[in-house]
Structure 1
Amino acid sequence: MTTTATPLLQVQDLRTVFETRAGRVFAVDGVDVTVHPGECLGVVGESGSGKSVTFSSVMRLVRAPGRIVNGSISFEGRDLRGLSVHDMRRIRGRDIAMTMQDALTALNPALTVGEQILEVLYAHDETLPKGRLARQRAARAKAVDMLELVGIASAGDRLKYYPHEFSGGMRQRIMIAIALACRPKLLIADEPTTALDVTIQAQVLELIADIRARLGMSVVLITHDLGVVSEYCDRVMVMYAGQVVEEGPTASVIREPLHPYTRGLLQSIPRLSLRGQKISPIEGQVPDLIDLPPQCRFYSRCGERIDACRQRIDMRDLGEQRRARCIRLSEGKA
């Protein structure tokens, strides 16, 4: 990992809400994110914790009834919230790319995979020649290169195939190829191994790691799997109920989790070394994001709660790049 004084992506106090008939849903509530050049940041948490909405907000892809109500989003020093729709479209795909959870629904079934890669190249690749035929030849050559980069054999022929003609793992690779077509500086991979078997999951993750190393690209890996994070990510950010509850270098967080929620996630992972020992799930449910309590959001599920937890809890800087949101840390009891 390359860490510099200037982050590639800097998000501060981000708040994204969804206006519903039942009330305002606080999907993302005061989230800070920092991603450095060449770094891989893992983002973990249960479904509904705000992971995907946070980075959809970064891409400005949140649509009504959702909207960003507060916060700054800076990429290479540029304020993304202040950009026009046209300027933001130029950044998407060229500088920041995002792969969605389900490749089958994310890809257009009516277009060949070649047409979908070419669409990105024509929209963003300023290195293509100006002449029509030369432009088409250069774009097609780059599309073939991208399919070969993600490990698809007979790439020239496969450009003519439609998404339904590929397996789940191959479709995931194609979606990554589309995202990487213009060599973005930041790839946001949202659950890139959803619905894939274990062997294919490993292949897709190794592919992302290999391309990251070759291109010097930064990666945000959104996942439920702490095992994946421990193997591929430099830092990890744990989210719960729309907030970040812990953040730090992956090895430190896995070895010594500071927040009870992070410990709960780790304790719920099956381990072959602990045969005969029962898995310890986190009891209870995530709080209603419409009617949030004015206390620690993990309070109702936390086995370590005390009376002092019945208040708003802010993130605490703990040194050595560690941060966590727990009142007990100030007492030395967490």
Structure 2
Amino acid sequence: MTVLLEVTSLRTEFATRAGLVRAVDGVSLQVRRGECLGVVGESGSGKSVTFTSVMGLVRSPGKVAAGTIFFDGRDLCQLSSEEMRAIRGRDIAMTMQDALTALNPALTVGEQMAEVMVAHDETLPAGRAARRSAIRERSVEMLGLVGIPSPETRLRQYPHEFSGGMRQRIMIAIALTCRPKLLIADEPTTALDVTIQAQVLELITDIRARLGMAVVLITHDLGVVAEHCDRVMVMYAGQVVEEGPTAAVIERPRHPYTRGLLASIPRPALRGQRIEPIMGQVPDLVGLPPQCRFHSRCPMARPECLVAVPMLPAGPGRQARCLRLEDLA
């Protein structure tokens, strides 16, 4: 598969009263056409900021301070605001964490779907009546694709008239309206019960297969990644600490943080045994010294780890940011 999205040495900073926060610090990644990349890590690890940087949605006092972002052969960092607006929603779509707040409560679902098509779909007919008919037809098609019953009726309803799972499906439908090449799903199952979570994730997997698009799935849940993603990228304190094929990373983690995440997952096979938490807290990102950022929480830490650690080869198609790779093997 060819590379669709390639990010190199991305650094996104926020100027605060306490000092400069490097929320994303030297992140490099690739997303290939048609694949699903899972991005995991604790809250504050830089997952969402990495991809809002890709979308050009970082707001002041934040800014992309360094790095390159190539999408389908174009350097997004060199594009104007107008050119980025043309790409967002058409070629790259993103669903936000909370569907209730992401949807406009004052507009019907149909109106919100129409906005995307009017802004990005150049294939719409010129005549007003024909244009409205085409928009309605596509909207009904998209709502049907994500499993919304009676889509013709639902177009006239407002977000508050839908359940949490239905709102999440509507967000996905809006994102898919222009059939993007890449869908970024940021915590698509937040605040949903387990049954609805499974339905939403199966929906994304099914649509990915039907449309042939690439998916980035941002989540806290390694179980979700194991079931739905081809590759996984683990982030901690603004950096990528491990990356590789999902099965290989989960079966044999090569970074202590990844191992800690896996050990903290409740499993039926371990019934009666204590869950092993990752002790300590994520470090303050203001003025971090140039050393392993997981050092203060790592059970394998040694004095030699108090240096800046690059991503190192950790097996076929794998990398990890750790000097103890041989011990973890």
Q: Structure 1 length as normaliser, TM-score?
A: 0.97
Find the counterpart in structure 1 of residue 131 from structure 2. 135
Q: Which stretch of structure 1 is more off in the superposition, 124-133 or 216-225?
A: 124-133
Find the counterpart in structure 2 of residue 56 from structure 1. 52
Helix, strand or coil: the match of 2:28?
A: strand
Q: CA deviation at 1:294?
A: 2.1
Contact 2:254–2:314 (8 Å) recurs in 1:
no
The structure 2 residue matched to 1:232, chosen from 206, 228, 235, is 228
Alignment of 1:333 with 2:327, yes or no, is: yes
Alignment of 1:250 with 2:236, yes or no, is: no
Find the counterpart in structure 2 of residue 301 from structure 1. 297
Find the counterpart in structure 2 of residue 213 from structure 1. 209
d(CA) in 2 for partners of 1:245, 1:18: 21
Helix, strand or coil: the match of 2:97?
A: coil
The structure 2 residue matched to 1:112, chosen from 84, 104, 108, is 108
Give runs of ≥4 in structure 1 deviating > 2 Å.
Answer: none
The structure 1 residue matched to 2:277, chosen from 274, 281, 284, is 281
Offset from partner CA, 1:166-199 (integer Å, 9 cap, x none): 0000000000000000000000000000000000
Alignment of 1:37 with 2:1, yes or no, is: no
Helix, strand or coil: the match of 2:131?
A: helix
Helix, strand or coil: the match of 2:119?
A: helix
Opposite residue 74 of structure 1, the aligned amino acid is F
Q: CA deviation at 1:318?
A: 2.9
Alignment of 1:322 with 2:325, yes or no, is: no
Offset from partner CA, 1:145-182 (integer Å, 9 cap, x none): 11000000110010000000000000000000000000
d(CA) in 2 for partners of 1:322, 1:204: 29
Q: CA deviation at 1:291?
A: 2.6
Offset from partner CA, 1:30-54 (integer Å, 9 cap, x none): 0001000000000000000000000
Find the counterpart in structure 2 of residue 259 from structure 1. 255
Opposite residue 39 of structure 1, the aligned amino acid is E
d(CA) in 1 for partners of 2:10, 2:294: 20
Residues 22-171 of structure 1 mapped to structure 2, 5 A cutoff: 22-171=18-167
Q: CA deviation at 1:61?
A: 0.2
5+ residue gaps in structure 2? none
Q: CA deviation at 1:60?
A: 0.5
Q: CA deviation at 1:300?
A: 0.3
Total equivalences in the alignment: 328
d(CA) in 2 for partners of 1:30, 1:317: 17
The structure 2 residue matched to 1:17, chosen from 13, 16, 20, is 13
For the aligned residue pairs, the C-alpha RMSD in angstroms reads 0.6
d(CA) in 1 for partners of 2:301, 2:289: 15
Q: Structure 2 length as normaliser, TM-score?
A: 0.99
Q: Which stretch of structure 1 is more off in the superposition, 273-282 or 219-228?
A: 273-282
Q: Percent identity?
A: 73
Find the counterpart in structure 1 of residue 4 from structure 2. 8
Q: CA deviation at 1:249?
A: 0.1
Helix, strand or coil: the match of 1:238?
A: strand
d(CA) in 2 for partners of 1:294, 1:150: 46
d(CA) in 1 for partners of 2:314, 2:286: 31
